[in-house]
Structure 1
Amino acid sequence: MEVLVIFIFILIMMASLGIGFPVGFALPGAAIISLFLAGVAGIIFEGNANAYFAYGGPIEWINAGITNFRGTYWDNDRDTLIAIPLFIFMGLILQRSRIAEDLLMTMGKLFGRAPGGLGISVVLVGGLLAATTGIVGATVIAMGLISLPAMLKNNYDKNLATGIISASGTLGQIIPPSIVLIIVADQISNAADAAQNIRLENYKFLTGESTMPGAYNVTSTSAGELFLGAILPGLILVLLYVGYVFIRAIINPKLAPPVPSKTGFDKRFAIEVTSSLLPPILLIVLVLGSILYGVATVNQAGAVGAVGAIIMAGYKLYNGQKHKYTPTIIATSSSIIILIMHYTIGLNIKNIENDNDWLWILIGTVLVFALLFSITWSFWRVFKIKNVLKEVSTETTLTSTMVFIILIGAALLTAAFRGLGGEDLIRDYLKNLPGGFWTQFFVVMLIIFILGFFIDYIEIIVVVLPIVAPILLADPSANITAIWLGVMVGINMQTSFLTPPFGFALFYLRSVAPKSITTTGIWKGASPFILLQLCGLLIVGLYPSLSNYIPFRSYLTSDLAPPSTNPKLERCLIDYTYTLYKNDEGKIRKAIADAKTYKIDILSSDQRSLMNDHFNKSLLAIDQIKIAENKKNILDDYSKSYLELHNEVKKIRIQANDINKKIIDLQKDLERLKDENKKNILRKQIDKFNLERDKIITTIPKDFEEKNKKYKELSKDYKNSLDIYYKTVDQGYDNFFKIFKEIKDVEKIKLAQEELKIGIELIQKDNKEKSIRSFLEILEIMDKTSGGDEIKDIIYETTENMKENWNKKEILRKAQDIQKLLQKELTLRDRSAKELLVKFETYNKEIMDTIGVRKQERIPRKHALYVSKCIASHEDISLNF
Structure 2
Amino acid sequence: MELVFLGILLLMMVIALSSGFPVAFSLPGAAILSIGLAALFGYLFTGDSSSFFVEGGAIQWLNAGVTNFRSLYWDVERDTLIAVPLFIFMGIMLQRSKIAEDLLVAMAQMFGPVPGGLGISVVLVGALLAATTGIVGATVIAMGLISLPAMLKNNYSKPLATGTICASGTLGQIIPPSIVLIILADQLTSASDQASTIRKAAYKAATGEFSMPSILDVTSTSAGEMFMGALVPGLALVGLYILYILFIAIVKPGSAPPVRYEGKYDGKFVTSIFMALTPPLTLILLVLGSIIMGVATVNQAGSVGAVGAIIMGGYRLYEGKKNTYYPAILAIASTIVIGIILTFFDLNVKSIKEGDAIGIFMASVSVIVLLIAVIWSTWRIYKIEDTLNGVMVETAKTTSMVFIILIGAAMLTSAFRGFGGEELVKEFLTGIKGGFWAQFIVVMAVMFVLGFFIDFLEIAVVVVPIVAPILLADPGANVTAVWLGVMVGLNLQTSFLTPPFGFALFYLRGVAPAIVKTLHIYRGTIPFIGLQVIALVIVALSPIMVNYLPQRIALSSETAPPPINPRMQFCLEEYLFDYYDNQGEQLRDHINTLGGIDINALPVKWQKELKKSLEQALNTFDLVEKVRTAEANLTEYSHEYRPHHEYVRGLQTKIRIIRKKITEFKMNWTRFSRSDAPDTEYLNRIKAKIQKEETSIESLEKQIPETWSAIRKRYVELEKDEIKARRNYRNNVDQAYEKIVELQKIISGADELASLEQQLTALETIIASEPALVAMDQIKESERALGKVAGTSTIKSKLSKARRILKKKKPKPEKAVQYLKEGLKLYAAEVDWRQQATAKIAPALLAYENAIKNSIGIRQQRRLLPDQVKSVARCQSIHRDFSLQF
Which residue number corresponds to residue 359 of structure 2? 360
Which residue number corresponds to residue 656 of structure 1? 655
Mark the CA change 1:77 to 1:800 in structure 2 (over 3 Å): closer, same or farther: farther
* Cα shift readout 1:191-242 (whole Å, capped 9, x = no counterpart): 1111111111111111100111111111111111000000000000100011
> Higher mean Cα deviation, 682-691 or 342-351?
342-351
Aligned equivalents of 1:302 and 1:819: distance in 2? 64
Q: 2:594 corresponds to which letter in structure 1? A: A
Q: Is contact 2:311-2:374 (8 Å) kept?
A: yes
Aligned equivalents of 2:225 and 2:16: distance in 1? 36
> Higher mean Cα deviation, 509-518 or 572-581?
572-581
Mark the CA change 1:804 to 1:49 in structure 2 (over 3 Å): closer, same or farther: farther
Q: Is contact 1:756-1:774 (8 Å) kept?
A: no
Q: Is contact 1:578-1:629 (8 Å) kept?
A: no
Among 852, 861, 866, the residue aligned to 2:871: 866
> Higher mean Cα deviation, 786-795 or 703-712?
786-795
Q: Secondary structure at the match of 1:600?
A: coil
2:711 matches 1:712? no
Mark the CA change 1:604 to 1:53 in structure 2 (over 3 Å): closer, same or farther: same
Aligned equivalents of 1:754 and 1:856: distance in 2? 37
Among 844, 849, 863, the residue aligned to 1:839: 844
Q: How does 1:688-767 map to 2 (within 5 A)?
A: 688-745=692-749
* Cα shift readout 1:614-660 (whole Å, capped 9, x = no counterpart): 01222223212211111111111111232232122112101101111
* Cα shift readout 1:33-65 (whole Å, capped 9, x = no counterpart): 111222233344444332322222222111111
Q: Is contact 2:195-2:469 (8 Å) kept?
A: yes
Q: 1:553 corresponds to which letter in structure 2? A: R
2:686 matches 1:682? yes
Q: Is contact 1:160-1:255 (8 Å) kept?
A: yes
Aligned equivalents of 1:256 and 1:755: distance in 2? 89
Aligned equivalents of 1:878 and 1:513: distance in 2? 53
Aligned equivalents of 1:792 and 1:786: distance in 2? 11
Which residue number corresponds to residue 858 of structure 2? 853
2:465 matches 1:466? yes
Mark the CA change 1:589 to 1:688 in structure 2 (over 3 Å): closer, same or farther: same
Q: TM-score w.r.t. structure 1 length?
A: 0.93
Mark the CA change 1:350 to 1:60 in structure 2 (over 3 Å): closer, same or farther: closer
Q: Is contact 1:159-1:521 (8 Å) kept?
A: yes
Q: Is contact 2:346-2:356 (8 Å) kept?
A: no
Which residue number corresponds to residue 560 of structure 2? 561
2:150 matches 1:130? no
> Higher mean Cα deviation, 217-226 or 59-68?
59-68
Q: Is contact 1:557-1:865 (8 Å) kept?
A: no
Which residue number corresponds to residue 330 of structure 2? 330
Mark the CA change 1:787 to 1:285 in structure 2 (over 3 Å): closer, same or farther: farther
* Cα shift readout 1:140-190 (whole Å, capped 9, x = no counterpart): 111111111111111111111111111100000000000000001111111
Which residue number corresponds to residue 582 of structure 2? 583
Q: Is contact 1:453-1:502 (8 Å) kept?
A: yes
Which residue number corresponds to residue 152 of structure 2? 152
2:374 matches 1:375? yes
Report the Cα offset of residue 454 of structure 1: 0.3
Q: 1:849 corresponds to which letter in structure 2? A: N
2:10 matches 1:10? yes
Report the Cα offset of residue 359 of structure 1: 2.5
Q: How does 1:480-629 map to 2 (within 5 A)?
A: 480-629=479-628
Q: 1:320 corresponds to which letter in structure 2? A: G
2:207 matches 1:203? no
> Higher mean Cα deviation, 371-380 or 626-635?
371-380
> Higher mean Cα deviation, 390-399 or 181-190?
390-399
Q: How does 1:369-448 map to 2 (within 5 A)?
A: 369-448=368-447
Which residue number corresponds to residue 212 of structure 1? 212
Which residue number corresponds to residue 248 of structure 1? 248
Q: Secondary structure at the match of 1:254?
A: helix
Aligned equivalents of 2:697 and 2:97: distance in 1? 67
Report the Cα offset of residue 343 of structure 1: 2.5
Report the Cα offset of residue 782 of structure 1: 6.4
Mark the CA change 1:735 to 1:104 in structure 2 (over 3 Å): closer, same or farther: same
Aligned equivalents of 2:408 and 2:776: distance in 1? 63
Mark the CA change 1:776 to 1:465 in structure 2 (over 3 Å): closer, same or farther: farther
Aligned equivalents of 2:759 and 2:132: distance in 1? 56
Mark the CA change 1:163 to 1:839 in structure 2 (over 3 Å): closer, same or farther: same
Aligned equivalents of 1:185 and 1:756: distance in 2? 62
Q: Secondary structure at the match of 2:132?
A: coil
Q: 2:726 corresponds to which letter in structure 1? A: L
Structure 2: unaligned runs, 5 residues or longer: none
Q: 1:308 corresponds to which letter in structure 2? A: G
Aligned equivalents of 1:581 and 1:532: distance in 2? 44
Which residue number corresponds to residue 65 of structure 1? 65
Q: 1:215 corresponds to which letter in structure 2? A: I
2:231 matches 1:231? yes
Q: Secondary structure at the match of 2:255?
A: coil
> Higher mean Cα deviation, 597-606 or 82-91?
597-606
Aligned equivalents of 1:88 and 1:784: distance in 2? 55
Report the Cα offset of residue 576 of structure 1: 2.0
Q: Is contact 2:740-2:845 (8 Å) kept?
A: no
Q: Secondary structure at the match of 1:698?
A: helix
Report the Cα offset of residue 724 of structure 1: 2.0
Aligned equivalents of 1:465 and 1:106: distance in 2? 39
* Cα shift readout 1:523-563 (whole Å, capped 9, x = no counterpart): 11111111111111111111011110000000011122212
Aligned equivalents of 1:791 and 1:340: distance in 2? 49
Which residue number corresponds to residue 884 of structure 2? 879
Report the Cα offset of residue 314 of structure 1: 1.4
Report the Cα offset of residue 566 of structure 1: 1.8
Aligned equivalents of 1:722 and 1:440: distance in 2? 35
> Higher mean Cα deviation, 423-432 or 582-591?
582-591
Q: Is contact 2:185-2:222 (8 Å) kept?
A: yes
Q: Secondary structure at the match of 1:126?
A: helix
Q: Is contact 1:9-1:31 (8 Å) kept?
A: yes
Report the Cα offset of residue 798 of structure 1: 11
How many correspondences in the alignment?
873
Q: Secondary structure at the match of 1:210?
A: coil
Q: How does 1:67-82 map to 2 (within 5 A)?
A: 67-82=67-82
Which residue number corresponds to residue 29 of structure 1? 29
Q: Secondary structure at the match of 2:253?
A: coil
Q: Is contact 2:795-2:824 (8 Å) kept?
A: no
> Higher mean Cα deviation, 151-160 or 735-744?
735-744
> Higher mean Cα deviation, 629-638 or 439-448?
629-638
Q: Is contact 1:510-1:519 (8 Å) kept?
A: yes
Mark the CA change 1:18 to 1:269 in structure 2 (over 3 Å): closer, same or farther: same
> Higher mean Cα deviation, 116-125 or 573-582?
573-582
Q: Is contact 1:562-1:859 (8 Å) kept?
A: no
Q: Is contact 1:748-1:782 (8 Å) kept?
A: no
Mark the CA change 1:512 to 1:852 in structure 2 (over 3 Å): closer, same or farther: same
Structure 1: unaligned runs, 5 residues or longer: none
Mark the CA change 1:535 to 1:321 in structure 2 (over 3 Å): closer, same or farther: same
Q: 2:745 corresponds to which letter in structure 1? A: K
Q: 2:845 corresponds to which letter in structure 1? A: F
Percent identity, aligned pairs only? Answer: 47
> Higher mean Cα deviation, 740-749 or 376-385?
740-749
Q: TM-score w.r.t. structure 2 length?
A: 0.93
Aligned equivalents of 1:646 and 1:397: distance in 2? 55
2:625 matches 1:630? no
Q: Secondary structure at the match of 2:600?
A: helix
Aligned equivalents of 1:803 and 1:335: distance in 2? 62
Aligned equivalents of 1:751 and 1:329: distance in 2? 57
